[in-house]
Amino acid sequence: MQSFRTEIENPIVENDIIELANKIELFHKGKIDEEKFRSLRLARGVYGQRQEGVQMIRIKLPYGKVKSNQLHRISDVSDEYSRGRLHITTRQDIQIHYVDLNRTPELWAELERDDVTLREACGNTVRNVTASETAGIDPNEPFDVSPYADALYKFFLRNPICQEMGRKFKVSFSSSDEDTGLSYMHDLGFIAKIKDGVRGFKVMIGGGLGSQPRHADVLYDFLETDKIIPVMEGVLRIFDRHGERKSRAKARMKFLIKDIGLEAFKKLVEAEQSAIEFKSVLIDVDAYEASIPVEITTIPEVTIKDQQAFETWKSTNLIPQKQEGYVAIGIKVLLGDFYTDKARLLADLVDKYAACEVRLTLRQNIVIPFVKIELLPFFYTELDKLGFVEAGYNKAVDITACPGTDTCNLGIASSTGIADELERVIKAEYPQYLNNKDLVIKISGCMNACGQHNMANIGFQGMSVRTPDKLVAPALQVLLGGGNLGDGNGVFADKVVKVPSKRGPEALRRILDDYEANANGKHFVDYYKEKGEKYFYDFLNDLQDVSNLTQADFIDWGEEEKYVKEIGIGECAGVVIDLIATLFFESEEKIENAKASFDNKVYSSAIYHAYSSLVNSAKALLLAENKKTNTHAGIISQFDELFVESGSIDLGTSFSELIYQINKFAPTADFASKYIENANQFLAKVRVYREAQTQLEKKAV
């Protein structure tokens, strides 16, 4: 533990890492409930993977921006603690796998030396804030959204209002009406707008993918930039209070919006503003550290060995940039996987000849901004040495896929294996699609849609299928017709057929052959809408027949052994934990956190820590009575009904009146002090009650 203290300058980060190390030790000793430990480590970017005894580490990289020194640091950490492979996610993070749980605090400390964090990369928190990878260079953008994404990320990192929500919360920023940040499928999506010369955003709310995709609603057609943080805080507070907590399948923002309605939700958010400390948060755009290209005095001379390949690469992998004399380079990264040796060389290249940074994209690729046009031959030859000049960036041949059964606990079928095969089919048999950016193909290994399959033109979802002989084979759900329409509008794909995985390439061939023959230049989304689901079902239906499978059909792509459906199981503490005592202990911790925030004059945080303690303490007694604790609002009303109205516990008022002071009073020092004391007294009372009940139970035995 001493090494953390000596190497980390930020005391808040230091405490985070020490806390993780302490909780790992308590977990091994059986003193922390497994569910509680899982919640804590997930919020620190430590995620269980399919293989027993090792963890996946998710590194949080806001809006995909990675400086060259940070890429070096991540590479060093991957070599030391993992296997030297880096995986780019569809949310602009980097994941490394096969990490020993006991080494995660040390790993985190190493990353923080270059301002790279794991904090809230996983878990029921505000996840990585994503943005258009071309933010700041996009010729069509009204302004650079990067400073706003950065400010929002920093404001909510470690913010007590979003540490233990019912489920994760995802935010995106789009730099223009093309909506390349995919606002329509996020909990909150912001699209840059200018109205009467004023900067602002169109705000989308309640979108999501998964097994029940939902298109986001328009929360505001235009919201000025200084209001985005207060509005998001209000949204999070309402989601935290009213969001489902028992059933994970119904715990996302999209279900809350659906249940109570957009207008009712909007009124709750607006009413909550009276309890929010900052009604306006001005974002200092000038203070943001924007990309600045390095000075190039000499253009290195190179010889292009294959001029045709160079011209093809330029036609598919260059991205226009609004800064005169510069372009960005798109690097197609197969399945989002690359290795630390190449990462270091790439970091050195951009450090010396571009703007000392790369951008990670939502399609698991890499963008190098600020490349001087005169340097393109040089960059091509240097990237060629790294194997980074494959043509087809963001084109049909550029297929997105999650890790699937490679490492994910929830994977049902191999998404990486089928993605590799489908790319091979397109390259070999449909070379004309090398330039087709309209056709988007995405693959997920299960219904959770980490590969975003249900928003693709052509999507595949990993499943299993049972034969008449009750044998199980890997399968793919084929989805068609999804797409991004721009300005917060999109359409989700229809589930058309389910085919054995080995027939996936044939399904793709039939779809592409039909599209080639009959679409007459229409975009795939429009062509699918015109023809309809039944049309595609009819010519794919025979591929669903499982009565004639061969031995090869029972082996998944990229595997050698017969398929076994196996969804991973989470870790187990292996001992019985007193959950009630654990909750009381956590309530104490939350009160201590509240006092620390109060001492630092961060009164809004102090109040929310105290609120969390009050809810936690009430939840403990309700669980002792085997009552449901699905939502915070439900916990509060049930506690009144069961304990206060019955006279079992005297609070001098209702629990509702006591706790809901949080949305009636501004976060002043006086109110914070009183509210913390309320939480302390409440914990003392429920503990006395619990002890008395425990003694009665012992006497009754």
Q: For each of the domains in the chain, give its residue range(s) and CATH number, in order of start.
A: 2-112 (3.90.480.20), 138-287 (3.30.413.10), 307-385 (3.30.70.3340), 400-554 (3.30.413.10), 579-700 (1.20.120.330)
- Exposure class string for 160-183: b at 16+ Cβ within 10 A, else e: bbbbbbbbbbbbbbbbbbbbbbbb
pLDDT of res. 700:
64
Strands 441-444 and 400-401, how do they pair?
A: parallel
Mean pLDDT of all residues in 113-125: 93
Q: Which residue, among 580, 687, 683, 672, has the nearest Cα to 623 in the 3D structure?
A: 580
Instruction: State the pLDDT at residue 566.
Output: 58
- Tokens standing for 75? 């590479």
* H or E element in which residue 613 lies: helix 603-624
Q: Report the amino acid identity of residue 150.
A: D
Does residue 395 carry a pLDDT above 80? yes
* DSSP 8-class letter at 137: T
For 412-428, the pLDDT digits (tens) are: 888 889 989 999 999 99
Lowest mean pLDDT segment, chosen from 56-60, 552-556, 580-584, 630-634: 580-584
- Model confidence band, residue 470 (pLDDT cutoffs 50, 70, 90): confident
Encode 291-311: b = buried (16+ Cβ within 10 Å), e = exposed: bebeeeeeeeeeeeeeeeebe
The predicted-structure confidence for 246-294, as pLDDT tens digits, reads as follows 777 788 999 999 999 999 999 999 999 989 988 999 999 999 999 899 9
Contact indicator for 467, 549 with CB cutoff of 8 Å? yes
Confidence of residue 156 (pLDDT cuts 50, 70, 90): very high
* Length, in residues, of the chain: 701
* Local confidence band at 570 (pLDDT 50, 70, 90 cut-offs): very low
**Better pLDDT: 474 or 65:** 65
Q: Which of 242, 247, 245, 274 is nearest to 257 (CA)?
A: 242
Rounded to two decimals, the pTM is: 0.89
In this predicted structure, the answer to whether residue 245 has a pLDDT above a threshold of 80 is yes
Q: How far apart are CA 358 and CA 329, in angstroms?
A: 10
R_g (Cα) of the chain, nearest Å: 26
- Is the pLDDT at 86 greater than 60? The verdict is yes
